[in-house]
Amino acid sequence: MFRFFLRLAWLTLWRRKIRLILVATMIGVSMAVMVSIQGLYDGMTVHMIKSTLRSDSGEISIYAKGYRVSESIRDSIAESGKMTDTLASMDEVKSVTSRIKATGLISTARKSLLCEMIGVDIASEKAFGEFDKFIVEGDLNGSDDGQAIIGKQLARDLGVKLGERIVYSTQNLSGDISSLSLRITAIIQTSNIAIDDRTLYVTKPRARELLGFAPAQSTQVAIRVREGRDLETLQKSLQERLNGVEVYRWQELYPSVEQMQVITDVFNAIGFGIIMLVVLIGIMGVMVVSVLERLREFGIQMAIGVDYRDLRLQLVGEALIMSLLGYLLGAVLGGVMLYYLYNTGMDLREFSSGLEEFGFNSIIYADVRVGYFTMTLGVIVAAALLSVIVPLRRLKKLRLLDVIESET
């Protein structure tokens, strides 16, 4: 009986092909656009998070006690070398690096700005976060310790170009002012505003010499964690295992990035609500009109003994078939659009200066998740089932006398 009424619903829909095609197209196009927008939103957020992890914090960062409050070089990790060796041997750890950070003044002949100097080991940073891929001008091939790498926005604010010299000054461990004369050999853009706007990279030997640090002394140890590992559990384990340090997850260091992820989820939820509303209104309108047009047909079915529950099954089948056809169309269109946006991206270089202010790239790539399609399927099916409530109430109140009177 179920198969009979399902087939009847299918045949009934094709009696009005234009209406079916229009409704299915409306659902499909709405779904494809929404899935694409969701992919772009998630792609922007994922890119921002990955850039932040690669360029600075990793999934977990370790500092000496009090450093996050004071940001003083006196609050540093004395034996960072032993710590990095210990961490690198852990199964959960993918890669680890140590850095030396200090705030000071970067100067040219024309201008001076506050800046954060970071002493790094370039080979270690390449392994940690593919540092070389952040380079937009210059290269990392030089071996001269007098070379420096500067954030793109900082270079723009200072008005410096490749090959030009700058002077960096800060206070060392003794309390004296120390300075370095450096030549810009590379400019980086990480999409991490904190890096691009105010950071200068130098080699670790130069940073230690400037600040008076011991060979194994650092201010930060950053960790990349293997996929699937629980960060909170690892954080607690490291905090118990390591003495005299504070262990932070990236969400604690960059709450604004996590908030961006939450906002994206809210936008996606609103998008699903819009899809559901479009499907609900579209199918409900069609089903109401369909019931009103077919009062005589339903009356005849009832007269020959067809139960209301069977008619209800037929209408529900019609709504589901209509919505699923729209879903299939939307899945194909949405899949094609996401594939294009994932591989080619959306080119917004015309607005690059504005996007860079917020840490976004000028070419935005979409993220692709199976959940886009499974969740949309659930929303569309739910909307289809809700859309038949009003038509079914009208059908339930139908009396044979009403059908006869409408015919006379």
- DSSP letter for each residue of 172-191: -TTS-EEEEEEEEEEEE--S
Residues 217 and 283 both lie in one domain = no
Residues 162 and 223 both lie in one domain = yes
Opening angle at CA 401, ends 397 and 406, nearest 5 = 95
How high is the pLDDT of residue 353? 64
Confidence of residue 336 (pLDDT cuts 50, 70, 90): very high
Residue 325: closest CA among 317, 315, 337: 317
How high is the pLDDT of residue 338? 93
- Mean per-residue pLDDT, 300-326: 81
Residues 115 and 160 both lie in one domain = yes
Residues 137 and 278 both lie in one domain = no
By mean pLDDT, which of 34-38, 75-79, 139-143 is the weakest? 139-143
Tokens linked to 53: 């992890």
Residues 349 and 224 both lie in one domain = no
Confidence of residue 360 (pLDDT cuts 50, 70, 90): low
Give the count of domains, the chain.
Answer: 2
Q: End of a domain among 219, 243, 267?
A: 243
In a domain, 59, yes or no: no
Residues 46 and 178 both lie in one domain = no
Is pLDDT of 118 > 90? yes
User: Whole-angstrom Cα distance, residue 169 to residue 398?
Assistant: 87
Is pLDDT of 401 > 70? no
In a domain, 205, yes or no: yes
How high is the pLDDT of residue 207? 94
More confident residue, 11 or 127: 127
Q: End of a domain among 220, 243, 266?
A: 243
Confidence of residue 287 (pLDDT cuts 50, 70, 90): confident
How high is the pLDDT of residue 1? 59
CA distances from 60 to 86, 331, 398 (A): 15, 38, 66
Residues 117 and 179 both lie in one domain = yes
Tokens linked to 351: 């607005």
In a domain, 304, yes or no: yes
How high is the pLDDT of residue 389? 83
Residues 399 and 361 both lie in one domain = yes
Is pLDDT of 93 > 90? yes
Is pLDDT of 406 > 60? no
In a domain, 234, yes or no: yes
Is pLDDT of 27 > 90? no
In a domain, 123, yes or no: yes
Q: End of a domain among 195, 219, 243?
A: 243
Taking the model in full, what pTM does it have?
Answer: 0.78
How high is the pLDDT of residue 246? 95
Residues 158 and 35 both lie in one domain = no
User: Whole-angstrom Cα distance, residue 19 to residue 23?
Assistant: 6
Average pLDDT, rounded, for the chain: 85
How high is the pLDDT of residue 399? 67
- Mean per-residue pLDDT, 239-263: 88
Q: Among the residues of 97-198, which ranges form H helices?
A: 122-129, 152-158, 193-198
- Look-up: residue for tokens 């960096």? 168
How high is the pLDDT of residue 403? 58
DSSP 16: G
CA distances from 130 to 54, 133, 190, 206, 311 (A): 7, 6, 11, 22, 63
Residues 232 and 375 both lie in one domain = no
Query: Domain limits at 234?
Result: 66-243
Residue 103: closest CA among 168, 162, 157: 168
Give the helix/strand (H/E) hosting 139. Answer: none
Is pLDDT of 237 > 60? yes
Residues 274 and 226 both lie in one domain = no
How high is the pLDDT of residue 400? 61
Q: Is the Cα torsion angle 382, 383, 384, 386 positive or negative in sign? A: positive
By mean pLDDT, which of 165-174, 263-272, 302-311 is the weakest? 302-311
pLDDT digits (tens, 9 = 90+) for 376-387: 888 888 888 888
- Mean per-residue pLDDT, 52-76: 92
Residues 268 and 210 both lie in one domain = no
Is pLDDT of 210 > 80? yes
DSSP 404: H
> Cα torsion for 107, 109, 110, 114, to the nearest 10°?
0
